[in-house]
Amino acid sequence: MDMTKKVLIVYGTRFGATESTSAEIARILQAEGLEVRVVNAGKEKVTDISSYDLIIVSSGMQMGKWTKEPEQFLDRFQKELANKHVAIFVSSGVQALLEHEKKTEEIEANRKQYLEEKATRYHLQPVSLAIFGGVWDYNQMNFLARMALGSFKPRIEAAGFKEIKPGLYDTRDWEAIRHWAKELVAQIR
């Protein structure tokens, strides 16, 4: 009897990029026949992970930092996660700019800091790690963040990212996100 594989996606988000990226990954996994539960760690606490075959943990990045809730999830379940298929991704608007600008050293440094060091800290051996673009929403940033990150606007526009609406830029590569999700299916089948 072939049991449907179950996937848990736990995310933290600041401006919604990680939320909508998680939703798209869930859509792809469901289309592949997997049962998927998506949890915003800032609004809902997960109490049990025993029934899941794959757990995807994700966070938006700001100033090199994860959101606190996915980090708390990793801390709370690190022993159980050590025996699970785990994948980790982060959403980073800066990463998309670095890729466009071909800044290989900075890309690798971010991958190490955002993903590899996080996995090591919680004693995980992820089946996959990824950094996807993010959302720059100058409308939701506080005054200090807008001032600090205002210099990125010309770089965002030079990279070819257009405003979706005034003050909002989406730097995600949706095809790369969908491809990653399909690769995860192969990891647990």
Residues 6+ apart with CB under 8 A from 94: 61, 110, 134, 152
Percent of the chain with pLDDT over 70: 99
User: At residue 121, does pLDDT exceed 60?
Assistant: yes
Tell me which CATH code domain 6-188 carries. Answer: 3.40.50.360
24-43 burial code (b ≥16 CB/10 A, e <16)? bbbebbeebebebebbbbbe
Q: How far apart are CA 111 and CA 95, in angstroms?
A: 9
pLDDT value of residue 101: 93
User: At residue 150, does pLDDT exceed 50?
Assistant: yes
| Residue pLDDT, tens place only, 18-70 | 999 999 999 999 999 999 999 999 999 999 999 999 999 999 998 889 999 99
Sequence-ordered strand ranges (E) for 4-139: 6-12, 35-40, 54-60, 85-91, 128-132, 135-137
Q: For the chain, give the number of residues.
A: 189
Confidence of residue 2 (pLDDT cuts 50, 70, 90): low
Write the CA distances from 159 to 7, 76, 144, integer angstroms.
Answer: 34, 39, 24
Cα–Cα–Cα angle for 65, 94, 26, rounded to 5 degrees: 75
User: At residue 1, does pLDDT exceed 80?
Assistant: no
pLDDT value of residue 69: 97
The whole-chain average pLDDT of the chain stands at 94
Please give the residue that has the higher pLDDT: either 119 or 151.
Answer: 119
Q: Is the dihedral of CA 135, 140, 141, 143 positive or negative?
A: positive
